Structure 1
């Protein structure tokens, strides 16, 4: 005989008692259904949780990937900008190099060795960078290439600076040479005896006149015809009162028959500076200045050095 379980349900006072008779097998079946339902709900909740977590991870990954793409785009833009700036610097250095060459050409100065400097610099222009190529494929190469170009630009700028320094020194030397080259009349007045062969006013014989005689009133100012250093300022036999100025580079000028010295030996003078006054000292027939230009000990026609 099958076992049965009886359930009694008591209601309020006076209400009849309800009785339910359930077999053990049915009760076991109900328990099985309850356990199965709870298990199903548990697995469903677990799967729902996993799906939610997977969805959250996916969103986080997508957000991270999006941020990385944005960072890559920014870095690519920065690389293109940097490459553009490098090319601008190369263009400016090349312009400076060409400017230096033009100055050297005008000044008649030999060009420096052109194998160095900016002529060895190459590389991609900004527009040559393919924006469709992933940054991971070209990032290291681009950074290395730009680093090499920056090094080359640095070396080129140093070379260019040295070139300009040498050019400036040469121009300064040329300027000093020009400043130390006679270029003006030593005094005002009438030329009474030119450079070259003449008849001596004292002996009547033919002689070589090594300078230029300029006659004027006694006391007329005499000027240095170029920058230099006074190496003699004293009386000297037939020269009378004589000033000799050394201009360097083998150039020397003499001013003779002076009345009054305004400079002494050792003084430095500038072109156009008053150094003495016309006189009639030494072997002279009247107030005048005897002016000589000597290059490496050889008399030169002073008129070749009078530009005013």
Structure 2
């Protein structure tokens, strides 16, 4: 048999003579080689498709993740911007209150919260600043972290400032509450502070207070918070009450028909301490009201604001 051919016998269903088919071996070799090449090409195509498919899935996932990161960072930036605006408003409010209360703020060293608040800046996130899909966001996260640390530092400084301001205003409010500022009695001013002609001698004299005339029994009130340090009866002022308000301020009330307080008693602004009368050296029912500052009599009308 010829070894250069592959001989095939084809048998029919009937009893006819078998057909002989000779196929050269070179054709078979060529067909085998083509089959191998086709298989390799097909395998390469399948692998490449799978790689592209995997890359597409990964890209889609990274794209989605990147979009989520954008949304999170944008929200993060918006919150930082809102906090910066709020801190700026608080800082402005702090300055206004200090101006009204005449309080100087302690200077801060260079680079302190005052300087940080003054610098400010746009905290919005630039779309071009976001990394492409799959890239790390460490740089942006670090910037956000730095901004938050600055805001925390500013907030702490602002809180300290408000505590200081509150302490000062509390002290200020105590001082204001202890400063005479209202009329001690209703009535008519018949004699003011300063030089006048004495109603008893007709000679010039210095009047150390002011006289407020009204009917006997009209209430006399404390014009500020304080402590009663004297309740007595004197030759000139008759029944008299003296209140110490602290800060070197004392007020005196003379010619009272009655007193309703005792030495050592603390009184609030507006509390009744006695009633108008004509005791002592007096031409008629009235209240002698005087204010002294560090032992020196001053014009009481300067301590009446209403």
Check whether TM > 0.5: yes
Alpha-carbon spacing, 1:209–1:39, altered in 2? closer, same or farther (3 Å)? same
Residue 124 (structure 1) shift: 5.5
**Is 2:97 the partner of 1:103?**
yes
Q: Partner residue of 1:91?
A: 85
Q: Which of residues 115, 118, 127 in structure 2 aligns to 1:119?
A: 115
Contact 1:80 1:129 in 2 (8 A): no
Q: Which of residues 246, 261, 264 in structure 2 aligns to 1:263?
A: 261
Mapping of residues 138-217 of structure 1, within 5 Å: 139-201=137-199, 206-217=204-215
**SS state at 1:181 partner:** coil
Output the CA distance in 1 between the equivalents of 2:35 and 2:57: 33
Contact 2:62 2:134 in 1 (8 A): no
Output the CA distance in 2 between the equivalents of 1:124 and 1:198: 69
Q: Partner residue of 2:5?
A: none
Residue 64 (structure 1) shift: 0.7
TM-score, length-normalised on structure 1?
Answer: 0.77
Alpha-carbon spacing, 1:256–1:132, altered in 2? closer, same or farther (3 Å)? closer
Output the CA distance in 2 between the equivalents of 1:190 and 1:36: 134
Contact 2:62 2:133 in 1 (8 A): no
Q: Unpaired runs of 5+ in structure 2?
A: 3-8
Q: Deviations over 1:76-101 (max 9, x none)?
A: 34323322332232233223222322
Mapping of residues 47-62 of structure 1, within 5 Å: 48-49=42-43, 51-62=45-56
- Say how many residue pairs are matched: 298
Q: Which of residues 73, 94, 103 in structure 2 aligns to 1:79?
A: 73
Output the CA distance in 2 between the equivalents of 1:61 and 1:140: 24
Residue 137 (structure 1) shift: 6.8
**SS state at 1:130 partner:** helix
Contact 1:118 1:153 in 2 (8 A): no
Contact 2:222 2:270 in 1 (8 A): yes
Alpha-carbon spacing, 1:76–1:214, altered in 2? closer, same or farther (3 Å)? closer
Q: Deviations over 1:227-280 (max 9, x none)?
A: 222222343454332211122211110112222222223333232322211123
**SS state at 1:271 partner:** coil
Output the CA distance in 1 between the equivalents of 2:213 and 2:64: 90
Contact 1:255 1:291 in 2 (8 A): yes
Cα RMSD (Å) = 3.8
Q: Deviations over 1:135-167 (max 9, x none)?
A: 777722221121111111111112122223333
Answer with 268-277 or 47-56: which moved more: 47-56
**Is 2:217 the partner of 1:219?**
yes
**Is 2:289 the partner of 1:305?**
no
Q: Deviations over 1:200-223 (max 9, x none)?
A: 455665543222223332211111
Q: Unpaired runs of 5+ in structure 1?
A: none
**SS state at 2:147 partner:** helix
Alpha-carbon spacing, 1:133–1:123, altered in 2? closer, same or farther (3 Å)? farther
Alpha-carbon spacing, 1:19–1:294, altered in 2? closer, same or farther (3 Å)? closer
